[in-house]
């Protein structure tokens, strides 16, 4: 997909000792150092292999003449904030995000704090595969400094977006999942005035409490703690804390499109109009709520980097952009930074609840329009051919081709996309009515079975 050979939508990832090795990461460091001159910030999540890979990455950067600042263990959005505000030449995060503990990987960050674009990643991969590294002579090798306290700049920036004491009287529970948000989210929320309880808040790359992907099953202990403490909400992060997901007052896992809609409602009401940028796979709920506030939705391909870059592009053209994000708990705040930010999302939920005058999160959620979503994956030897066949079969209808094909009806939509990494197609169907969604799914499956 997009001509990339090794990197996916959010960096390169693999199992330690198999695809992911210090040797591979050293070469990524050397390729990055050959492309970006100056000081590169390096951070990591809590995975057991993080230290080894960080050393390899730094060796590659140093040998090409870059200086390195090692900012230690921190959330990806904290690294992105530090890079942007300290004018580093770029950065790299050793993380495998939500993947299981045996995985690790690298995300590359540009000087403006955004993830590296597809075009630049392709250039980096070309250097990687050709072994084209600008190795510095003995008197040009870079130097390393460590700066573990820089994380405080990020905490202050997030807290600074909200009125002092906005969380007073609110009890919250934070589940960082043994990841780097243990160093940020509890502090952010307590500085906002909340009473904070934590679970899985010790940095531990073996993830003893739950896996790095925050699932309803894994968050059961968080739900129980929310109920036991009478908390306003519980918040959990994925392995690098660019995403945040929530459980409500009565311990229910909040489906991430509803989280998006709830925060969108608050942000758009305050901003009064503007654009909301999101991928084509997001619930129609996002459009419903945008329209309430006179906002318009701008759709992108699936991937947070496309959302972030589109927000920057639209603002560069003088358009007003209110909000952006994905329906997986990865939300982007235009007045903060152009990347998904889990700590900011946790803080935003405090502001959302404060604006509802003491009403319970569960009650507010129950007032949002309900949608029924079907999400399926199907094996397909030639996924693109299958997507074309579906397009052909539904050619009489409204079809959008931003990413795969999206068949748009008044009361439902369906998205059919080829997987970038496996011989699979991904099908999503959404409707307010479950029967309508099921019927549309059967229509698509008839085409899939014929091919
Ligand atoms: Mg992540």
pLDDT tens sequence across 115-169: 999 999 999 999 999 999 999 999 999 999 999 999 999 999 999 999 999 999 9
Does domain 12-149 correspond to CATH entry 3.40.120.10?
A: yes
Residue 224: enclosing H or E segment and its boundaries?
Answer: helix 220-229
Q: Rounded to 10 degrees, what is the CA torsion of 155, 156, 158, 160?
A: 160
Q: Is pLDDT of 1 > 70?
A: no
Q: What is the total residue count of the chain?
A: 451
Residue 241 CA to residue 360 CA, distance in Å, equals: 25
Ligand 1 being an ion, which residues bring their Cβ within 5 A of it? 97, 238, 240, 242
> What's the CA-to-centroid distance between 100 and ligand 1, angstroms?
12
Order the strands of the 295-300 sheet from edge to edge: 295-300, 274-279, 321-325, 331-332
Task: Verify whether residue 97 is a known catalytic residue.
Answer: yes
**Which CATH number describes the domain made up of 372-450?**
3.30.310.50
Coil, helix or strand at residue 367: coil
DSSP 8: B
**CATH topology match: 256-339 vs 372-450:** no
Q: Please give the pLDDT value at position 420.
A: 74
DSSP H or E segment with residue 279: strand 274-279
Q: Does residue 2 have a pLDDT over 90? A: no
Separation in Å, CA 445 to CA 386, 409, 441: 11, 17, 6
Residue 192 Cα to ligand 1 middle (Å): 24
* 203 closest CA partner among 172, 154, 237: 237
Say whether pLDDT at 366 is over 70.
Answer: yes
CA of 11 from ligand 1 middle (Å) equals 10
Mean predicted lDDT score pLDDT of the chain:
96
Distance of alpha carbon 281 from alpha carbon 417, whole angstroms:
10
- Give per-residue pLDDT as tens, 378-433: 999 999 999 999 999 999 999 999 999 999 999 999 999 998 778 999 999 999 99
Compute, in angstroms, the gap from residue 408 CA to the centroid of ligand 1. Answer: 30
First and final C-alpha spacing in the chain: 22
| Beta carbons within 8 Å of 307's beta carbon, 6+ residues apart | 277, 278, 279, 300, 324, 325, 326, 332
Helix (H, G, I), strand (E, B) or coil at 67: strand
Every domain of the chain and the residues it spans: 12-149, 160-247, 256-339, 372-450
Q: How far is the CA of 238 from the centre of ligand 1 (A)?
A: 6
pLDDT tens, residue by residue, 319-341: 999 999 999 999 999 999 999 99
* CATH number for the segment(s) 160-247: 3.40.120.10
- pLDDT attached to residue 9: 78
Residue 386 CA: distances (Å) to CA of 280, 355, 373, 395:
19, 47, 22, 14
Domain 256-339 architecture: 3-Layer(aba) Sandwich (3.40)
Whole-number Å distance, alpha carbon 318 to ligand 1 midpoint, is 30
Ligand 1 centroid – CA 1 distance (Å): 20
Average pLDDT for 434-446? 97
What single string gives the DSSP state of each residue in 15-66? EBTTTB-HHHHHHHHHHHHHH--SEEEEEE-S-TTHHHHHHHHHHHHHHTT-
Task: Look at residue 164 in the predicted model and tell me its pLDDT.
Answer: 97
Q: Which residue has the higher pLDDT, 395 or 451?
A: 395
Given 34, 97, 178, 223, which residue is catalytic?
97
The alpha carbon of 97 and the centre of ligand 1 are apart by a number of angstroms equal to: 4
Query: What count of other Cβ atoms lies within 10 Å of the Cβ of residue 222?
Result: 30
From ligand 1's centre to the CA of 99, what distance in Å?
Answer: 9
Structure confidence by residue, pLDDT tens digits, 49-108 = 999 999 999 999 999 999 999 999 999 999 999 999 999 999 999 999 999 999 999 999
Segment holding 407, helix H or strand E: strand 405-408
């Amino acid at each position: 997909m997009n001509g990339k050979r090794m990197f996916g939508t959010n960096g390169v990832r693999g199992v330690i000792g198999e695809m992911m090795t210090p040797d591979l990461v050293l070469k990524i460091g050397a390729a990055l150092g050959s492309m970006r001159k100056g000081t590169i910030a390096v951070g990591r999540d809590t995975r057991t292999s993080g230290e080894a890979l960080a050393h390899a990455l730094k060796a590659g950067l140093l040998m090409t003449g870059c200086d390195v600042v090692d900012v230690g263990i921190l959330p990806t959005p904290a690294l992105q904030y530090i890079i942007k505000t300290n004018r580093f030449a770029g950065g790299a995060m050793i993380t495998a995000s939500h993947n299981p503990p045996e995985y690790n990987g690298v995300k590359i960050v540009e000087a403006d704090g955004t993830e590296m674009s597809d075009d630049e990643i392709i250039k980096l991969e070309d250097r990687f595969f050709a072994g084209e590294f600008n190795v510095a002579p003995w008197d040009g090798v870079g130097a390393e400094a460590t700066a573990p306290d820089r994380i405080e700049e990020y905490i202050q920036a997030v807290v600074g977006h909200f009125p002092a004491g906005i969380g007073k009287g609110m009890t919250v529970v934070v589940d960082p999942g043994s990841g780097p948000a243990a160093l940020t989210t509890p502090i952010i929320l307590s500085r906002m005035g909340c009473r904070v309880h934590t679970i899985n808040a010790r940095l531990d790359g073996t993830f003893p409490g739950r896996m790095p992907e925050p699932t309803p099953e894994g968050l059961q202990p968080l739900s129980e703690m929310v109920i036991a403490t009478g908390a306003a909400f519980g918040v959990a992060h994925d392995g690098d804390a660019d995403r945040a997901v929530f459980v409500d007052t009565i311990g229910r896992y909040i489906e991430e499109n509803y989280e998006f809609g709830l925060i969108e409602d608050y942000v758009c009401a305050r901003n009064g109009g503007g654009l909301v940028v999101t991928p084509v796979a997001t619930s129609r709920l996002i459009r419903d709520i945008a329209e309430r506030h006179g906002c318009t939705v701008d759709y992108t391909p699936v991937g947070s980097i496309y959302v972030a870059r589109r927000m920057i592009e639209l603002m560069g053209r003088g358009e007003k952009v209110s909000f952006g994000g994905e329906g997986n708990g990865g939300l982007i705040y235009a007045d903060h930074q152009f990347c998904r930010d889990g700590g900011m999302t946790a803080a935003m939920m405090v502001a959302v609840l404060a604006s509802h005058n003491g009403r319970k999160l569960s009650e507010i959620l129950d007032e949002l329009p309900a949608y029924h979503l079907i999400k399926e994956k199907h094996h397909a030897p030639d996924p693109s051919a299958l997507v074309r066949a579906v397009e052909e079969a539904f050619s009489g209808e409204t079809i959008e081709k931003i990413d795969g094909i999206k068949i748009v009806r008044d009361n439902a939509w369906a998205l059919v996309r080829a997987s970038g990494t496996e011989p699979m197609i991904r099908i999503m169907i959404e409707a307010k009515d479950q029967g309508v969604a099921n019927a549309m799914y059967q229509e698509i499956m008839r085409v899939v079975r014929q091919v």
